[in-house]
Amino acid sequence: MFQNLYQRSRHLTLPALLAGSAVWLSGCADNGVMSPLGPVAAAEKTHMIVFFLWMLPVCLPILIGLPWILIKYRRQGGSGTYRPNWSHSTLAESVIWGGSTISVIILGVLVWMNTINEDPYKHTGVNPIHVQVVGSEWKWMFIYPGKMASVNKVVLPQNTPVEFDITATGAMQSFWIPRLAGQIYAMPGMQTKMNMTTGDLAQLEGFNSQFNGAAFPLDKFDVDVVTKAQYDAFLQQPRKPWNELLTQFKKVATWNGPQIFDAPPKGWWDKASMNPDMATEGGAAILPDNAPEQKKIDEAIHNELHLTQNQSQGGAQ
Amino acid sequence: MSILGSLNWDDIFIVPFFKEPSTSTAIAAAAGGIVVLGALAVLVLLTVKGWWKPLWTNWITTLDHKKIGVIYIVLAAIMLIRGVLEAVVMRAQQVSPAPGFLSVEHHAELFSTHGTIMIFFVAMPLLIGLINVVMPLQIGARDMEFPFMNAVSLWLSVGGAALVMASLVIGRFETGGWTAYPPYTGIKLSPDEGVDYWIWSLMLTGIGTTLSGINFAVTIYKQRAPGMTLMKMPIFAWTTLCTAILMIYAMVPLAVASAMLALDRHAGFHFFTADAGGNMMNFANLFWLFGHPEVYILILPAFGVFSHVIPTFSGKKLYGYTSLVWATVAIAVLSFTVWVHHFFTMGQTAHLNAIFGIATMTIGVPTGVKVYNWMLTMWRGKLRFSTAMLFSAGFMFTFVIGGITGVMLANPVISFAAHNSLFLVAHFHNMLIPGLLFGMFAGINYWFPLAFGFRLDEKWGRRSFWLWMVGFYLTFMPLYAIGLMGAPRRMAFLTDPAYLPWLMISMVGALAVLAGLTSQVIQVWVSVKNRESLMVPAGDPWDGRGLEWSLGCPVPEHDFTTIPNITSREPWVEAKERGLRVMEPTEFVDIHLPKNTSMGFVVAMVATVGAFGLIFQMWWLGALCWIAMFVLVLIRSYDTDWEKTVTAEELRADYERHKHVVETTPKVSLDDEFTSKNRGLVIDMETAQ
């Protein structure tokens, strides 16, 4: 019985698979690269589809030919001829080696062009807005140099090029706003860059994708893409003093809601990125004083989940 | 510092549960309990059945390459059960309402041990075990070049695995994933013993693997039967050779990186810290300088298996031998040139990323060639769907899908959007489950009679194949989908309701995989129970093609009574075509085999105790054990009485005995291949006369 079952189901494997891939390629995505908002994420999506399609000439013959061979040449009931000593064909060799080499050459050229065009270090337009970023244990600091600093919230004007300068304290993290652009590591003692252009008005979520401990699921931030006027208003908001941010930042493991502060003194971010343990302003290192208590983290996770639940319920009404 | 180092009561597995009862700590306590009870059950069983002595004399002290291989595979099987159970728990965690029943850190411990176990204590022992059993038989050797070193390698791997198991009972494992990137794994952010468990268990098994690599390579260089030139070697021996070379070169960066991490953690060094001139990017570099060749260490032996299973069950010569050899060599060489693709997102220049992206895709050429060669081997064949063949066909189909996503990820721009996501997780499982596990399952089903003398049950074998196959698709296709929807990997809970249906499917898939694994346990159980009707004393139960099938099953300790002269790639096929059913003997001479010794086991166990001491900062114990280890090796080196002789007469008698078995066994047609009529010597009645 089981043999029958497997022979029957073999015919179904390919259609099932194609149907499956059609479903996931059709894009039911919400916070992923398959529903891009900015041109950088859009390019990533295009490359994904282009590469997938370019792989088909090499792979489809296998995906179709293999089941066909398995059926045709099966010992019992198959209809194929039997050539037990056939083991070489110069033509087949040339087609196989040649064909796959040509595909890889084409893909190689595409990779070279894509990688250089979409270099995250390359500005995506003239005079991008500069935002300095510090990733820390389960919170993100954003600095608009000379203007203001915010925690877990970055506000950007629509359709505008932006350059993020990124560093971290503590563990390595990965800075990622999937609907605007790809990710790049945020590392203590290092500086990395991520360029992107914002798209239409949107409220997005950015996050850290590199596991970094007990509150990793909370390690995310809001990204608001707003009109130019709203952006200007955001920068004019009343704020708290910078020192308060610094004290708080090292004290708490997870941040309760976004908050707005004065910008740090000029050059602070550079110092912080060069030496995260020593980056001080009035003697205050930005690394946390003590390991956070598990209880507080559990509480924070609980609060966060409660909050999102309420939000989604509110949205449904 | 106390004599017990950093060890204290809280490290005992049930204490955290009594201090802070929760589902998470209860699961941890239960897991520790299973390990303790399982160990006790084994001890009781051994005592009640009186198996201690046979276990010691036949297995623990053995230097026979086949038995060593079997122990490797048993180790892998035990660890695979743990790895799959962990996977099921993680899938269950993600479908339960957030935040699930595991704490974030407990979940992190699970994905860290899952990865570490699957790579180092399932995949590696499986392939090293299979190579041990089969490779010497394929090249006409009587043993490995260094049989004692082989035992040391084995028991070091067992010691490493034992440490990972011990972490369930005493203390805990690390939480930074199987890659254990600092600074997260530095002493500041991971102050407990978890990372030290990772470092020292990998150090033990890593030394074992390096020694195995040396052993395999030298065996192939020096022990081939006369006339077997490199280009007459079976493909499995070729893939073993390439894997061995990769092992020798690739395990070193891992040992170096983990030793540097250990120095950072406990000796105040600053290799990978953010301050004092350290840089964590060096760790990523060193780790993947090991990690990428490792991928091909894992996959090449499986490619070798397919190159034997497919011709045998197609009743046909392997298509494109030369092509396959060069493809294997090309993959091995290229595997050292692509490691940067594991961290395209680390901020290096676009040109560097592009070069490594192109190098990565270049590996697609020889790999694609191989798949086509296997297809052309099946073409114009007569295919028989044994369990081994099903796993091979399932591999080819599934592996190609993984290849598509692999080439996608080789584009740095796509990597920016898919790195650290479940898309990536789906991709590498898509390569390793068919590419490694299916290959090893095929190889075990195919070569099992060589080691034990009987075939494995086909019915349960086929069931296990379908469950693994369906389970794989159900588990990982949804992860591709939600990966593209932005779901990061290693997340303890995913709150987006859009993910839930996909995670549910994935959960069902994980259960199917678990059922597949269960079928395999049943398969072994049933086969052992019915071994009388599955015996193939005459050998060659599948109308095989390689030299290994010219031997009776199970293969005797001395392997070959006389070493054959090799004149072609398929000497056994040619012998059969000439109407022979036993290889013609060459010259009977006295041979020397290594005597059993407990020293390999003792050396490795001393090293394991020493590693345990280092994990809990009992420096005195670590130092003592590692000194003892070198002294023991020295003592062994001065031992002159280590060989036993098998005389020419004994070998001749064994040859006659085997010949008699063969001559009294009736020929079996392919129709009866999977029935109890198969006592060995299966032939194709339609073509053979």
Question: What are the pLDDT digits (tens) for A80-102?
Answer: 899 999 999 999 999 999 999 99
CATH no. for B51-535: 1.20.210.10
CB contact under 8 Å between A112 and B358, yes or no, is yes
A195 touches chain B (CB under 8 A): no
Which residues in A lie closer than 8 A to residue B414 (C-beta atoms)? 44, 47-48, 51
CA distance B367 to chain A (A): 10
B61 or B5: whose pLDDT is higher? B61
Mean pLDDT computed over every residue of chain B: 94
Q: Quick: pLDDT tens for B322-337.
A: 999 999 999 999 999 9
Q: Choose the weakest-confidence range: A275-284, B230-239, B422-431, B573-582.
A: A275-284
Which residues in A lie closer than 8 A to residue B417 (C-beta atoms)? 33, 41, 44-45, 48, 178, 182-183
Q: Cα-flanking dihedrals φ and ψ of residue B363, to 5°?
A: -60, -25
CA distance B6 to chain A (A): 19
Q: What is the C-alpha separation between B55 and A27, in angstroms, rounded?
A: 57
CB contact under 8 Å between B379 and A73, yes or no, is yes
- In the predicted model, what is the mean pLDDT of residues A288-294? 63
CB contact under 8 Å between B411 and A101, yes or no, is no
Instruction: Give the DSSP H or E segment for B303.
Output: helix B281-314
The nearest alpha carbon in chain A to B175 belongs to: A213
Does residue B170 surpass a pLDDT of 50? yes
**Total beta-carbon pairs less than 8 A apart between chain A and chain B:** 327
Any bridge partners for residue B535, and if so which? B454
Looking at residue B21, what is its pLDDT?
Answer: 87
Which residues in B lie closer than 8 A to residue A75 (C-beta atoms)? 315, 382-384, 670
Which residues in A lie closer than 8 A to residue B397 (C-beta atoms)? 13, 62-63, 66-67
Q: What is the C-alpha separation between A109 and A111, in angstroms, rounded?
A: 5
A57 touches chain B (CB under 8 A): no
User: What is residue B395's DSSP assignment?
Assistant: H
Q: Quick: pLDDT tens for B455-509.
A: 999 999 999 999 999 999 999 999 999 999 989 999 999 888 889 999 999 999 9
Residue A5 confidence class, pLDDT cut points 50, 70, 90: very low
- In the predicted model, what is the mean pLDDT of residues A219-225? 94
The two tokens of residue B184 are 């997260």
CB contact under 8 Å between A84 and B687, yes or no, is yes
Q: How far is CA B593 from CA B141, B380, B657, in A?
A: 12, 44, 20
Residue A15 confidence class, pLDDT cut points 50, 70, 90: low
Looking at residue A288, what is its pLDDT?
Answer: 57
Among A97-106, A236-245, B272-281, name the most confident range. Answer: A97-106
Q: How far is CA A43 from CA A50, A159, A195, in A?
A: 10, 15, 13
Looking at residue A2, what is its pLDDT?
Answer: 45
- In the predicted model, what is the mean pLDDT of residues B152-167? 96
A81 touches chain B (CB under 8 A): yes
A178 touches chain B (CB under 8 A): yes
Q: Choose the weakest-confidence range: B36-40, B59-63, B379-383, B638-642.
A: B638-642
- Is B355 within 8 Å of A71 (Cβ atoms)? no
- In the predicted model, what is the mean pLDDT of residues B259-284? 91
Looking at residue A21, what is its pLDDT?
Answer: 54
Looking at residue A16, what is its pLDDT?
Answer: 55
Which residues in A lie closer than 8 A to residue B416 (C-beta atoms)? 44, 118, 120, 181-184
Domain range annotation of chain A:
2-78+90-117, 129-289+297-306
3-state secondary structure of B543: coil
- In the predicted model, what is the mean pLDDT of residues B141-150? 94
Q: Choose the weakest-confidence range: A143-152, A283-292, B394-403.
A: A283-292
- In the predicted model, what is the mean pLDDT of residues A229-246? 91
CA angle (B323, B328, B334) in 5-degree steps: 120
B612-649 burial, b at 16+ Cβ within 10 Å, e below that, comes to bbbbbbbeebbeebbebbeebeeebeeeeeeeeebeee
Q: Which of B10, B104, B271, B324 to mutate to test the interface with A (most CBs of A within 10 A)?
A: B104
Looking at residue A300, what is its pLDDT?
Answer: 80
Looking at residue A285, what is its pLDDT?
Answer: 47
3-state secondary structure of A27: coil
Peptide bond between residue B366 and the one before it cis (omega within 30 degrees of 0): no
What is the C-alpha radius of gyration for chain B, rounded to an integer number of angstroms? Answer: 25
Interface of A with B in 125-144 (CB under 8 A): none
CATH no. for A129-289+297-306: 2.60.40.420
Which residues in B lie closer than 8 A to residue A214 (C-beta atoms)? 103-105
- In the predicted model, what is the mean pLDDT of residues B617-622? 94
% chain A with pLDDT above 90: 58
Peptide bond between residue B554 and the one before it cis (omega within 30 degrees of 0): yes
What ipTM was predicted for this assembly? 0.91
Q: What is the C-alpha separation between B335 and B333, in angstroms, rounded?
A: 5
Does residue A282 surpass a pLDDT of 50? no
Which residues in B lie closer than 8 A to residue A120 (C-beta atoms)? 416
- In the predicted model, what is the mean pLDDT of residues B525-554? 95
Does residue A315 surpass a pLDDT of 60? no
CB contact under 8 Å between A86 and B317, yes or no, is yes
What is the C-alpha radius of gyration for chain A, rounded to an integer number of angstroms? Answer: 26
% chain B with pLDDT above 70: 100
**Amino acid, res. A211:** F
CA angle (B256, B262, B266) in 5-degree steps: 150
Which one of A3, A48, A58 has the shortest CB-CB distance to B368? A58
User: What is residue A38's DSSP assignment?
Assistant: S
Q: What is the C-alpha separation between B671 and B325, in angstroms, rounded?
A: 33
Residue B630 confidence class, pLDDT cut points 50, 70, 90: very high
Q: What is the C-alpha separation between B110 and B104, in angstroms, rounded?
A: 10
Q: What is the C-alpha separation between B592 and B572, in angstroms, rounded?
A: 26
Looking at residue A281, what is its pLDDT?
Answer: 44
Mean pLDDT computed over every residue of chain A: 84
Q: What is the C-alpha separation between B8 and B170, in angstroms, rounded?
A: 9
Looking at residue A95, what is its pLDDT?
Answer: 94
Which residue has tokens 């389960």?
A138
Residue B117 confidence class, pLDDT cut points 50, 70, 90: very high
B595-609 burial, b at 16+ Cβ within 10 Å, e below that, comes to ebbebbbbbbbbbbb
Residue A287 confidence class, pLDDT cut points 50, 70, 90: low
- Is B152 within 8 Å of B208 (Cβ atoms)? yes
Residue A24 burial (CB count, 10 A): 20
CA distance B342 to chain A (A): 12
CA distance B423 to chain A (A): 11
Q: What is the C-alpha separation between B603 and B626, in angstroms, rounded?
A: 9
Which one of B364, B396, B495 has the shortest CB-CB distance to A104? B364
- In the predicted model, what is the mean pLDDT of residues A286-303? 70
Looking at residue A259, what is its pLDDT?
Answer: 84
3-state secondary structure of B444: helix
Does residue A13 surpass a pLDDT of 70? no
Residue B255 confidence class, pLDDT cut points 50, 70, 90: very high
Looking at residue B253, what is its pLDDT?
Answer: 96
Q: What is the C-alpha separation between B274 and B76, in angstroms, rounded?
A: 37
Domain range annotation of chain B:
51-535
User: What is residue B436's DSSP assignment?
Assistant: I
Looking at residue A1, what is its pLDDT?
Answer: 41
Which one of A27, A73, A170 has the shortest CB-CB distance to B383? A73
Q: Which residues contact B131 (CB under 8 A, 6 or more apart)?
A: B69, B216, B236, B240, B243, B301
Q: How far is CA B334 from CA A33, B359, B361, in A?
A: 30, 7, 10
Does residue B1 surpass a pLDDT of 80? no
Q: Which of B188, B323, B361, B414 to mutate to test the interface with A (most CBs of A within 10 A)?
A: B414
- In the predicted model, what is the mean pLDDT of residues B300-308? 97
Looking at residue A12, what is its pLDDT?
Answer: 52
Q: Choose the weakest-confidence range: A95-109, B31-45, B264-278.
A: B264-278
